[in-house]
Chain A
Amino acid sequence: MVTSESRTGGVVLSDLTKSYGEVQAVRGVTISIHPGETLALLGPNGAGKSTTIDMMLGLTRPDSGTVSLFGSSPAAAVQAGVVGGMLQTGLLLGYLSVRELVTMVASLYPHPLNVDEVLRLTGTTEIAERPTTKLSGGQTQRVRMAMALVADPELLVLDEPTAALDVEGRRDFWTAMRAVAARGKTVVFATHYLEEADAFADRIILMARGRIVADGPPTEIKARVGARTIRATLPGVDDTALSSLPGVMKADQRGDAFVLTCSDSASSDTALRALLLHYPQASDIEVRGAGLEEAFLDLTGDDGVESDEAPRS
């Protein structure tokens, strides 16, 4: 498939599929990304995000479908030095200082950024002379980001870049990342945090079980997966009565307990007030945002008993 976009630029994935033995990790993924766009691939573990990214980078050959990076194959784009990436796993190469490692990676690219500038941008200037093996998890991750950035790639691919970080590390990471996006590069990142995708991406693609289940701006996606549930122990009450409470979309009975699903936090507030008003005997009340996994299962209408889930995210 040669569209005008795949010739002029951007990243085009067409109908990708990939199986590992019996497991269908990716089942027909088509994505077209404009140059300069920041795209989040959002999904729970096993959604096929990493496999999609591996195919995008040419690390894994798709069973069918094609990948075009700015009009070239992944291998040619990698050779030309227009791709930079942070893969999901990876420690740093030993027997080098942070600065030496970043310099070494920079030397592989045709038009690298200035190493000192990248160290400053990623907040690694203070640890620049330290051996790469003597860093904390957050520091390691920032050095890995520096290695990806120093290439000054047109396409920056990050596979769950904050998975190993605590809340503070995560915030620092995205602060640094914003400076990069401001340079007008195309950024693709995988995550299973809705907040992260919402805060950073222009566009979110939701993946579940190897398929794309939603594709749109963060506000739209958030509305679709932002559901909340109220759980309460309430013996002797009928679920049809509960499902007619204001703000409640549906009510499910689980023994003596009920789970009320509401579309967003405003309606769960309404529902909670009504619940306490009409059923003061309700106990063990718990309100929470639905997990992404549940939201996806809702969206896909999946019953969740399928056993062919992909082994990796």
Chain B
Amino acid sequence: MKHLTYLRYELLRTIRNRRFLIFSLTFPLILYLTVAGAHKNLSLDGISFPLYYLSGMAAWGSMTAVVSSGARIAQERSVGWTRQLRITPLRTSDYFIAKILSGYLMALFSIVVLALAGSIIGVRLSAVQWLTMLGLLLVGLIPFAILGILVGHLVSVDTLGPVIGGGTSLMALLGGAYGPLATGGVFLAVMKYLPSYWLVQAGKSALGGGNAWPAQAWIVLAVWSIVSARVAARVYRRDTARVQ
């Protein structure tokens, strides 16, 4: 990333976008404080409910952050900004990297604030466990960051809101962010093919420390990342080849 000033302004733009903050932080935080706060002593899926729900809300909020960041490309395409950038020395890869980094920054912010709320409610983890959870969340966001860029090239500005809101909520729901949908059987087996399932599991997995995710998690995340990257690359090439 050669253009640090560009990145700095990109981050500034992200922070100034209030809608961004509302969906990636405010909603998950309010939901977390009310729901987890009311069921402090319950346990769920073998762990304490506040920890499960912390992981779920962090997954939902951070997922929304990285997807929305990439998806903003749709808006920048619609006003001709991406075309304008193509006649500057900024490389396309740097443009995408700036989008991913600013999405991650918002995701990180959302995760840290939720973790603080969790520790206030009574989630107790060791430093290693906290860091493991954070690390797993950040890795688990990779396919979503790429999906965001894909959405940014496929969706029109008018439908952007519903697609991001609906898509991330559905992913979060099916991944168990609002509570596990299944504890066994075929449905659970299917859920395990979703990247959001493993994102939500970051909290539970972190308790195990070192070897946190099973091999299936890594494979599912890798496949989602590679497939979305290939589709995004194809869509990008098709998009820049035609008249705009």
Asked if B6 lies at the interface with its beta carbon under 8 angstroms from chain A, I say yes
Among residues 96 to 131 in chain A, which have CB atoms less than 8 Å away from a CB atom of chain B?
96, 100, 103-105, 107-110
Shortest distance from the beta carbon of B243 to any chain A beta carbon, whole Å: 6
Given contacts A80-B89, A108-B89, contact A91 B80 (CB under 8 A): yes
B89 adjacent to A85 (CB under 8 Å):
no
Give the A-binding residues of B (Cβ under 8 A): 3, 5-6, 9, 12-14, 16-17, 76, 79-81, 83-84, 86-91, 241, 243
The 8 Å CB contact of B13, one of A94, A151, A312, is A94
B243 adjacent to A20 (CB under 8 Å):
yes
- The listed residue with most A CB atoms (<10 A of its CB), out of B3, B12, B76, B79, is B79
Query: CA A43 – CA B98 in complex, angstroms?
Result: 40
Which residues of the other chain, B, contact A157 by a CB distance below 8 angstroms? Answer: 87
The 8 Å CB contact of A103, one of B5, B91, B241, is B5
12 CB-based A-B contacts, threshold 8 Å: A59-B87, A61-B241, A81-B89, A87-B80, A90-B84, A93-B79, A93-B81, A95-B12, A100-B9, A108-B3, A108-B90, A157-B87
The 8 Å CB contact of B79, one of A83, A85, A90, is A90
Shortest distance from the beta carbon of A187 to any chain B beta carbon, whole Å: 15
Considering only CB atoms, which chain A residue lies closest to B79 in the complex?
A: A91
Query: CA A83 – CA B5 in complex, angstroms?
Result: 20
Given contacts A78-B88, A109-B88, A110-B89, contact A59 B76 (CB under 8 A): no
Considering only CB atoms, which chain B residue lies closest to A88 in the complex?
A: B80
Asked if A136 lies at the interface with its beta carbon under 8 angstroms from chain B, I say no
Asked if A60 lies at the interface with its beta carbon under 8 angstroms from chain B, I say yes
A59 adjacent to B88 (CB under 8 Å):
no
Instruction: Give the A interface residue count (CB, 8 A).
Output: 35
Asked if A4 lies at the interface with its beta carbon under 8 angstroms from chain B, I say no
B3 adjacent to A87 (CB under 8 Å):
no
Among residues 229 to 258 in chain A, which have CB atoms less than 8 Å away from a CB atom of chain B?
none
B88 adjacent to A151 (CB under 8 Å):
yes
Query: CA A151 – CA B88 in complex, angstroms?
Result: 9
Which residues of the other chain, B, contact A105 by a CB distance below 8 angstroms? Answer: 88
- The listed residue with most B CB atoms (<10 A of its CB), out of A79, A100, A108, A109, is A108
Besides A61-B241, A103-B5, A108-B90, 5 other A-B contacts (C-beta < 8 A): A58-B87, A78-B87, A87-B84, A91-B80, A96-B12
Query: CA A91 – CA B12 in complex, angstroms?
Result: 19
Considering only CB atoms, which chain B residue lies closest to A94 in the complex?
A: B13
Query: CA A100 – CA B8 in complex, angstroms?
Result: 11
Asked if A212 lies at the interface with its beta carbon under 8 angstroms from chain B, I say no
Which residues of the other chain, B, contact A109 by a CB distance below 8 angstroms? Answer: 88-89
B12 adjacent to A59 (CB under 8 Å):
no
A90 adjacent to B241 (CB under 8 Å):
no
Asked if A33 lies at the interface with its beta carbon under 8 angstroms from chain B, I say no
A104 adjacent to B6 (CB under 8 Å):
yes
